[in-house]
């Protein structure tokens, strides 16, 4: 399963951007999709303290649309 990262729809955009792995590694992209392997790799890097974790928070309605 992949995750689509759209910073424009992130519910914590602004306050959490400075400590989000997306901003740290890429700047603020308009949209980004990460597959399972990429998500696991970022989780390992964040778990080891090398990068901050993904701070993306989406609405429940958006998550239902993505899975439909």
Q: What is the pLDDT of residues 42-56, one digit of tens each?
A: 899 999 998 888 887
CA 41 to each of CA 25, 36, 54: distance values in angstroms, whole numbers, following the listed order: 13, 9, 12
Distance CA 11, CA 13 (A): 6
* Burial label, 64 (beta-carbon count in 10 A; 0-12, 13-18, 19+): exposed
> Which percentage of the chain shows pLDDT scores above 70?
84
Question: Where in the chain are the domains?
Answer: 3-67
pTM equals 0.54
């Amino acid at each position: 399963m992949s995750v689509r990262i759209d910073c424009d729809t992130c519910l914590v955009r602004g306050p959490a951007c400075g400590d989000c792995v997306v901003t740290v590694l890429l700047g603020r992209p308009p949209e980004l999709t990460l597959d399972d392997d990429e998500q696991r790799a970022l989780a390992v890097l964040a778990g080891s303290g090398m990068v901050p974790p993904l701070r993306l928070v989406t609405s429940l309605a958006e998550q239902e649309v993505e899975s439909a």
